[in-house]
Amino acid sequence: MTALEMLEGLPRLDLRGFVSPVQRLERFSETIGVEVWCKRDDIGSVGLAGNKVRKLEVELAHALACGATHLVAEGSRLSNATRAVAAAAAALGLKCTLLLCHDEPHEPVGNLMLDGLFGADLRFVGNVNWLELAEHAEIVVRELERSGERVYRLPIGCASERSCLGFALAYGELRYQMRAHGRSVGTIVHASSSGGTHAGLVLGNALHGFESQIRGIVVAEDVYPDVAGTYLSFARGGARLIDAEVELTRDHINISEAYLGEGYGLPAAGIYEAIDLLATKEGLLVDPVYSGKAAAAIIDLAARNELKGPVVFWHTGGYHALFDPRYAKRIWSAIERLSGVEL
């Protein structure tokens, strides 16, 4: 059996129910002078979730096979990953505990609101770093296990060797769709933090002969002590799980912190222009925490003539920050057309 056949045959759940479309962004492309398509992982799926669902389809098939009764996940209060886990747990009839860090927001907005609605047990651990958060999660896992639960713990961003296989599969899906449109995949640009998306796309690309460039736009600082090395270890580990004989090195990990701006969830150059341009030219929404930074990167890289086309903007989802009053106010005042409007 080939590695691609093993990948196709992986046990996985269907938490999306459909294949997300890829759409040509005509007016956006015309404006920035590069042919851009959008892979719409922002739509459909369990619990309004975006890219995390592909990871969970593979990871939670394994969790169920292990007899899990309770999912434990960790992340910031803004996290889309924890929300996706909470939604998937509800859909699968599993219990769920979330460990949430960062002090803001204190109001039930965005993902925090949804985490609660999906019935997860929420534990707030304050302003800790990612390593401390993981330690808190370990303590909760042991506590739940002592009470008789069979716990399956999902790491930060649900990123793992296994879960990245969901994105290795996704690469093949996109390639097939683009071929149906008579187009190849020159470059994929996506928002990146915990690395499962990037690792999986890199592995998928490797399985198809390294025909595309995969560019991850980093949206969170210091997720790991060695970010590129950790991404690489996910991709290599995923390759081992499907017996793929591909040589993956650090050179295959292509990530940039140039668009992180002031940090995770904080403003970055070009982000409001990107939100505005996609909304007005395409009716497409990107958020200021994740996909907006990837979109800002596309605009900038196109201006520098650094993108090999056709470009696919992998829309990883995450609208909810748009409805968080803090972000909504920033966006409204940053867009000239809106800032003058008397409310």
Ligand X SMILES: Cc1ncc(COP(=O)(O)O)c(C=O)c1O
What is the set of active-site residues? Answer: 79
Q: Quick one: which of 25, 313, 318, 322 contacts ligand X (CB under 6 A)? A: 318
Residue among 62 and 183 whose Cβ is closer to ligand X:
62
Using alpha carbons, select from 120, 69, 123 the residue that is nearest to residue 92. Answer: 69
The residue nearest ligand X at its CB is 318
User: Does the footprint of ligand X cover residue 244 (CB under 6 A)?
Assistant: no
Give yes or no for residue 29 binding ligand X (CB under 6 A).
Answer: no
69 burial via Cβ count (<10 Å: 0-12, 13-18, 19+): middle
In the chain, the amino acid numbered 91 is: A
Applying CB under 6 A, which part among 127-135, 189-197, 237-245, 249-257 lies near ligand X? Answer: 189-197
Q: Closest CB to ligand X among 144 and 274?
A: 274
The region of 129-137, 201-209, 248-256, 311-319 touching ligand X under the rule CB under 6 A is: 311-319
Residue 264: count of CB within 10 angstroms of its CB: 19
Under rule CB under 6 A, residue 155 binds ligand X: no
What is the nearest approach in angstroms of ligand X to the Cβ of residue 191?
4
Q: How far apart are CA 223 and CA 282, in angstroms?
A: 32
- How far is the C-alpha of 116 from the C-alpha of 303, rounded, in Å? 42
Interacting residue with ligand X among 166, 270, 292, 317 (CB under 6 A): 317
Q: Which of 47, 155, 157, 265 binds ligand X (CB under 6 A)?
A: 157
How far is Cα 36 from Cα 296, in angstroms, rounded to an integer?
A: 13
292 touches ligand X (CB under 6 A): no
**Using the rule CB under 6 A, is 290 a contact of ligand X?**
yes
- In the complex, minimum distance from the CB of residue 85 to ligand X, in angstroms, rounded to a whole number: 12
From the CB of 2, what's the least distance to ligand X, in Å?
26
- Can residue 195 be called a binding residue for ligand X (CB under 6 A)? yes
Sole window of 1-9, 26-34, 247-255, 310-318 interacting with ligand X (rule: CB under 6 A)? 310-318
Contact with ligand X (CB under 6 A): which of 20, 45, 197, 212?
197
Q: Of 44, 50, 166, 261, which lies in the binding site for ligand X, with binding defined by CB under 6 A?
A: 50
Footprint of ligand X on this chain (CB under 6 A)? 50-51, 80-81, 157, 159, 191-198, 290-291, 316-318
